[in-house]
Amino acid sequence: MFPLRRSTKEPEIDWPALLALLEDDDRRATIARLAPTPGRESYLTALRRMQSSVVAETLTAGRRLDTAGRLVDRPTIAVAGMLNSGKTSLVSSFLSPAGQARTLRGTSNREGTHRFVLWLPQSWRDDVELWSLLVSRIGDSLGHPPEDLSENPDQAASQYNNRSGDHSQLSVALLATDPALDELGVGLLDCPDIVSDEELGLGSPKERKELLGRAATLCSAFLIVTDAASSRDTTLADLMRIASDLMPGVPRMLAVNKVRPRQTPDQVHETFSPLSQKHGVASIYAAYDYDVPASRPFIPHREDEASDRRLANPMDSSTGKVESSETAQESEPLPVFFEVSPNPDENPPASIDEGRFLESLPLKLDRGVLFSQLHRALRINLEKVIWDRGLDAIRRNADASFAKTRECHEVLLDASLEFFAHRKIGGEVMELRLHQSERILRQLSESFAATAPWYARWGVRLNSTIRRFVGGAGDFMRSLTPSALSQKAADDIKGRFRSGEYGGLIAPEGLLAEIERHGGTVVLSHYRDHQTEASPGKHSIDDSGLSLEEPNEEGTVTISNQRGFVNDAELLLPPIQRAVTRFEQDDFTTLDPRRLDEAIRMMWSEIPMHKKLAHGLTPLATIFAAFGAALMIPVDFGHSFILAASIPELLAAAGLGALAAMWAGNQGAREVGQQAARQQLADFLAVLCDELGVARPDPPMKVRVANHQVTLPASRIARSETSGPTMPVYRVRDEFVSELNKLLPRSSGIKK
């Protein structure tokens, strides 16, 4: 009936060594934290962060396996079934009369089993160390230490039925001993009835099945009790699945109760065989309904002192007369289960061998084989918890951290390109824009001046004035365009920048709007998560449903959402402001001076001498007016504003369309600006990531420019830690997986 001992040797699991690996946060750590600050985490620490319940399951599964060897001669059989299936009656058939009196049997809800009741041989209590181990295993499995089943039958019935109405008692097992189990040498776990709904209010079917799965790990065999009409019941299939999934290899048996005489034993076998074979059930037992007189031929009779009381109308063995009603009530009939055979000739009414009675099962169990199967089931259960639940959860979390960070990168890049990209009408990026910083404008001014022909210099002070740039942007502007005519040109150019006709004017509020438009408030969820975790301040709700926070130091009240949290704009604007300011200060990107001079010299050579602008300014003066206008942006609009514009856009804004076209059409000239623009975009994205608590892009991101995929360079601006919320990035270390595979190798058939 039970499989033979496996010929292949099962790997020995050293739980203390495995536990040391799971706790290691150094050389054999599970997680490498890549951002915000590099570090390592152990398996248990990482798992606590995401699924703390699995940590408890891991430790419990490990302790069960580690202590299983001490219980090799003390198996326990789980007995589970639905309400009114006769489950407790089956358990009672193994107990002494005193033990039977402490059980609860019947067909009403007040006689249902709504607690786990573990019946153990009385002699086991004499071994203090063993008893302590058993009690701790029960507590580990269900989450709470057990309590004793009362010796008083009425109080025991109340405990069985959980008449206190406290559904939390479902996870507190009742512990009882009985001398009749001493000879059998097994424990019996009477499991709560699996009810079909929550009407009783004593734990939902889902909760009961979950607890049953946890309790099953205590047991060396699994006996499922059902009635004859439930062959297609989904709950029966669920019970079998729980037994096969959570305790693979452990013997499973099916006991069919209350069979009517119109169904012969071989028909019972035929009805339940498909389901039994599907879930690896070793044996099918049946017990006929003793309340139906026609069932008598199918109720086999055992020649022992306990047989008479099993019949519907028990007889006094000394007188041969039917017992009185009071005596009959005390010795309530119990079902007689026997193993059914597919061969009709081997079933009652024919006589059957004593070994086919369910009562003989404990004596037939091979303790060594049973322990081997239990040990294997516990090891596979530990594998599933650590590999399939724990490590898979850690891997999913690590993958999600990478994916989430990449989403943030995409959003921040798309938002940045709204300012750093010069697009065609259809949205295609023609070229990248330069941050027109002081360094860039100084280079452009000096190069244009140094390479300009004589006719282009009229009316402009050069050399010493240009190279003497010391004071503020206003002084530099005045030194380049001293005339009122030049000043008017510069004002006109600034107006074009301000209107968005040329370039992109980057302001924190505008950048925030673009981030929100691209879904940034969704992907930058760590700001809201951090706010949720923080303790909310005292607040009240106004008529609009918004929360009014207590006045701040300035005496003002900020309006937030109804949970007392500020909105996304208020959360994200401060770090965006810091990012824009920091980029303006730390952007040291310069143009390649040699290539810049060559490009500008070539451009000057292609301009006819007679080319002049309408208002009397030379080309160089007009160019300087454009540069001065760009340099004045932070002064006029505030230091939190920066201008991004390509060199052709600067020239076009100054009205020098021909020069702009020449620059854009010359590949060498165009590449001078694009090389620096790519660096600036990478730097801006890096600073934005720093301040928003997102890891910098690694590998670098790519941008499609003029139908070509361009890879952005690594940022040259030093990394800075933000004081705000951060989005961590994790990676599972191969070293840990390798060590885990040595200490807890996967069994064949278990998914990897």
Residue 652: which residues within 8 A CB-CB, separation 6 or more?
502, 660
Q: What is the DSSP letter of 171?
A: G
HSE-CB of 511 using CA atoms within 13 angstroms = 30
98: how many CB neighbours lie within 10 A of its CB? 12
d(CA 642, CA 495): 15
Closest CA to 377 of 524, 263, 217: 217
Query: Is the four-CA dihedral 552, 554, 555, 557 of positive or negative sign?
Result: negative
Number of separate helices (H) and strands (E) present in the chain: 30, 22
- pLDDT score for 219: 83
Give one DSSP letter per residue of 484-500, joined into a string: HHHHHHHHHHHHHHHHT
**240, 281 in Cβ contact below 8 A?**
yes
- pLDDT score for 454: 64
**30, 735 in Cβ contact below 8 A?**
no
d(CA 746, CA 11): 10
Alpha-helix residue ranges (DSSP H) falling in 24-162: 43-50, 52-67, 87-92, 97-101, 128-142, 153-161
- pLDDT score for 615: 36
Closest CA to 645 of 508, 515, 494: 494
Q: What is the DSSP letter of 388?
A: I
Residue 284: beta bridge partners? Answer: 254
Say how many residues make up the chain.
752
Residue 629: which residues within 8 A CB-CB, separation 6 or more?
477, 490, 491, 493, 494, 497, 653
* pTM (predicted TM-score): 0.65
CATH class of the region 74-365: alpha beta
The domains of the chain are located at 74-365, 426-510+580-730, 522-571
The label of the residue with tokens 């390592």 reads 40
- pLDDT score for 489: 63
**636, 494 in Cβ contact below 8 A?**
yes
Amino acid code (one letter) for 401: S
Amino acid code (one letter) for 117: V
- pLDDT score for 544: 32
- pLDDT score for 466: 37
d(CA 23, CA 681): 43
- The kind and range of the H/E element at 731 are strand 729-732
- pLDDT score for 552: 46
Tokens of 292: 């139906």
d(CA 114, CA 92): 16
Give the pLDDT means over successive 10-residue stretches in the chain (752 positions). 46 91 96 92 95 91 85 85 84 92 79 85 89 86 90 92 81 93 91 64 70 81 88 81 75 92 94 90 92 91 55 39 41 85 93 90 75 82 94 95 95 94 86 86 83 61 38 46 54 70 83 92 84 52 35 42 60 92 91 88 72 49 71 61 81 76 80 91 96 93 92 94 89 96 79 44
- The kind and range of the H/E element at 339 are strand 338-339
**220, 252 in Cβ contact below 8 A?**
no
d(CA 387, CA 736): 12
Determine the Cα angle at 561 with ends 559 and 562, to 5°.
Answer: 110
d(CA 475, CA 368): 96
Closest CA to 376 of 287, 248, 280, 263: 248
- pLDDT score for 640: 64
3-state SS string over 392-417?
HHHHHHHHHHHHHHHHHHHHHHHHHH
Residue 429: which residues within 8 A CB-CB, separation 6 or more?
417, 421, 422, 423, 703, 704, 705, 706
Give one DSSP letter per residue of 123-135, joined into a string: GGGG-HHHHHHHH
Amino acid code (one letter) for 691: E
Going across the sheet that includes 559-560, the strands are 539-541, 547-549, 559-560
